[in-house]
Chains A and B, each alone.
Chain A
C-alpha cells in the first residue's frame, strides 16, 4: 500500500473498527493464556479463539447425530424465527399504538405510564409470567420478543410525529388537507427515521430476549442448547459457538434494519448529486 491509500484508510472510520477488533482479540487471547495456566479445564472459563474456531470445523458428534456446529445452526433457526415473528408483530403493534397516541392525546395519557412500567420489568422476571399464561415456550418467545420491540418502536415513532415542524403542519392546514392526508403525506414519511431508530434498537433486543426465554424450558433454541452445554450435557464449545453466533446475529439484525432504512429513504442515501436523468421521472 502506498502512502495515499494509508491516508485514506485512516481518514475513514473503518480503522477504528479494525483497531477495536484487534484489541478485543488481543485481550481475549491474553485472558485465555492466563486461564490456561491456572485452571484444569480452561475451556469452561475462557478457551483460545483458535480452539473455538477449530470446534466449528470439527466433525466430532456432540450428541448422537449432530456435530456442534450443526446443533448450533439448527437451533439458531428456531430462535431466529420466533424472534423474527415477535419482532414483526411488536413493530406493527408499536407503530399502530404510536398512531393512536398521536391521534388521541387521551390515549397517550392513559397508556404511556403503563408502557413505561412494562418496560421496567426485567425480561427474566417477565418471561416466567408470560410462559405461565401462554403455556407454550414457542408462543412465549414470540410474545417476549414482541413486548421488547413494542416499546422502542412506539416511543420513537411517537416522538417522530411530534418532531414535525410547525410550519410543515401549517402548510397542510392551509391547504385544507384531511387528517388522513396529513398522516399519509407528512407525519408518517417524516417520522420514518425515528421509526427506524426504534427498529434498530429493538432488533438485537428481540433476539437476546428470545435466547433468554429459551433457557427456561427445553424444546430447542439457542438458549436451551446454551444451558445444556453449560451443564455438560454436550461439549462446552456449543456454548462458545453460540456466544459468537448471537453476537453476529445481533449485529446483522441491526445492519438489516439500517439497510431497510436506506432502501425506503433514498433521499438520505448520499450527500452528492444524483445523475441528471430528470426528464423521465415517472411520478411528478
Chain B
C-alpha cells in the first residue's frame, strides 16, 4: 500500500511537526430569531500534531461540527486563522488533502460500494487500472472486499459507514476529518468499528480529527481529547490520553481508562 508519507513542506521550510494550527478562531452565525448572532466558536487556539489522533468532544451545539467544517474549508472563520501545513484550508482542499466522513454515510445510492469508493478518484482523473486496484485495497482495509457489488440500500448502517471511510481514504488524503461517524450505529457495531478504525489509522498514519459526543469513545481512540463547552463554543480542556497502543476494547476495563474518562467528564463547563 502506498501510505508512505511524503515529507511535508511548510512555508517556512521548517518542519515543526504541526499539522493544523488554529489561532484565535471565532465563528459567528446570524441568529434565526433575533438580530443578534450566535457564537458557535470563540477564541479557539489549538495545535494538532502530524499523525495525531485527536478527538473533539462535547455536548451538541458546542461547535464541534463548525470547527471541523472550518478546518475543511466548508465554513469561513469570522475571526482568526486556520493553517494546515502552513497553507490555507482552501489550498489544501483544492489539493484534495482532506478525507471527510460525515455522520450519515452520504453514499450515492445509484452506485455500488465499489463505485462509491471509486468516485473521488474519477474526479481526480486517475487511470482505470489504478482506480480498480485502490478500490480493492480500500475495501480490504475496511473488511468489505466481498461486498463491493452491493448497493447502499443492500448494506447495514455499519457497512455503509465503512464504505464512507474507504471512500475518504481513497484519495490518499493527509488528514481525515470525521464528524460523529459512528453515532447512528448500535453499540456493538460502534465498538467493532472503533477497533477497526484504530487499526486502519496505525497502518495509514493519517492525522485524524474525530468528532464525537461519546466520552468513552474519545478516550479509547485518541492521543488527545479536546473538550469543548457551549455558549459560547470554547475549548475548556485538552486531556492527554497516555494509554499504551495498540489498544483493544479490554483497555476500557482498566482503572487508568476510568480515570481518564472522569477527567474528561469533569472538564466540562456550564453544561
Name A's B-contacting residues (CB within 8 A): 165, 167-168, 170-177, 181, 185-186, 189-190, 192, 265, 267, 271, 273-274, 276-278, 281, 283-284
Q: Which residues of chain B are near A271, meaning CB under 8 Å?
A: 153
Question: Do B131 and A167 touch across chains, with their CB atoms under 8 A apart?
Answer: no
User: How many contacts A-B (CB < 8 Å)?
Assistant: 78
Binds A, one of B92-100, B201-209, B248-256: B92-100
Contact A267 B147 (CB under 8 A): no
Is B118 among interface residues, defined by CB-CB distance under 8 A?
yes
| Complex interface: stretch among B6-14, B24-32, B107-115, B263-271 | B107-115
Q: How far is the CB of A180 from chain B (nearest CB, A)?
A: 11
Task: Kindly identify, within residues 174 to 229 of chain B, every residue whose CB is under 8 Å from any CB belonging to chain A.
Answer: none
Q: Across the interface, which residues of A come within 8 angstroms of B152, CB to CB?
A: 267
> Are A284 and B123 in touch, CB under 8 angstroms?
no
**B174 to A: closest C-beta gap in Å:** 13
26 A-B residue pairs with Cβ-Cβ distance under 8 Å, sorted by A, are: A171-B102, A171-B106, A172-B123, A173-B93, A174-B73, A174-B100, A175-B120, A175-B171, A176-B96, A185-B119, A185-B122, A186-B108, A189-B108, A265-B110, A267-B111, A267-B152, A271-B153, A274-B150, A274-B151, A274-B154, A276-B146, A277-B149, A281-B112, A281-B149, A284-B118, A284-B135
Q: Kindly provide the distance from the CB of B72 to the nearest chain A CB, expressed in whole angstroms.
A: 6
Question: What is the chain B residue whose CB lies nearest that of A174?
Answer: B100
Task: Tell me the B130-175 residues at the A interface (CB within 8 Å).
Answer: 131-132, 135, 146-154, 171
10 closest A-B pairs by beta carbon, nearest first, are: A278-B149, A284-B132, A267-B151, A284-B118, A284-B135, A167-B106, A176-B94, A267-B110, A189-B110, A177-B123
CB distance from A2 to the nearest CB of B (A): 34
Chain B residues with Cβ below 8 Å from A267 are 109-111, 151-153
Q: Which of A176, A192, A281, A284 contacts B93 (CB 8 A)?
A: A176
Task: Tell whether, in the assembled complex, residue A278 and residue B106 are in contact, meaning their CB atoms are under 8 Å apart.
Answer: no
- In the bound complex, how far is the Cα of B132 from the Cα of A189, in angstroms? 22
B104 part of interface (Cβ distance < 8 Å): yes
Q: In the complex, which residue of chain A has the Cβ closest to the Cβ of B145?
A: A278
User: How far is it, in angstroms, between the C-alpha of A167 and the C-alpha of B102 when the chains are bound?
Assistant: 8
CA distance A265 to B171 in the complex (A): 27
Cα of A173 to Cα of B90 in the assembled complex, Å = 11
- Whether the Cβ atoms of A165 and B106 lie closer than 8 Å is yes
Is B135 touching A174 in the complex (CB atoms < 8 A)? no
Pair B154/A284 contact, Cβ less than 8 Å: no
Do residues B100 and A171 form an inter-chain contact, with CB atoms below 8 A? Answer: yes
B208 to A: closest C-beta gap in Å:
16
Contact of B87 with A by CB under 8 A:
no
Whether the Cβ atoms of A174 and B149 lie closer than 8 Å is no
Please determine whether A284 and B74 come into contact, CB atoms closer than 8 angstroms: no
| A181→B154 CA distance, assembly (Å) | 26
B131 touches A284 (CB 8 A): yes
CA of A33 to CA of B3, assembled, Å: 83
Give the distance in Å from the alpha carbon of A185 to the alpha carbon of B124 in the complex.
13
B133 to chain A, nearest CB (A): 9
Please tell me if the beta carbons of B123 and A173 are within 8 angstroms of each other in the complex: no
Contacts of B110 in A (CB 8 A): 189-190, 192, 265, 267
CB proximity of B131 to chain A, nearest CB, Å: 5
Q: Are B114 and A284 in contact (CB under 8 A)?
A: yes
Not counting A176-B94, A277-B149, a sample of 15 additional A-B residue pairs whose C-beta atoms are within 8 angstroms of each other reads A171-B102, A172-B123, A174-B93, A176-B123, A185-B108, A185-B122, A265-B110, A267-B109, A267-B111, A271-B153, A276-B149, A281-B112, A281-B114, A283-B115, A284-B118
Chain B CB within 10 A, most for which of A165, A175, A281 = A175
In this assembly, does B128 line the interface, its C-beta being within 8 Å of a C-beta of chain A?
yes
Within 8 A of A (CB), among B26-78: 72-74
**B170 vs chain A, min Cβ distance (A):** 10
With a cutoff of 8 Å between Cβ atoms, the chain B residues found around residue A273 in the complex are 150, 154
**A274 surroundings in chain B (CB, below 8 A):** 149-151, 154
* Distance in Å: Cβ of A51 to nearest Cβ of chain B: 50
Specify which of A165, A168, A173 is in contact with B74 (CB 8 Å cutoff).
Answer: A173
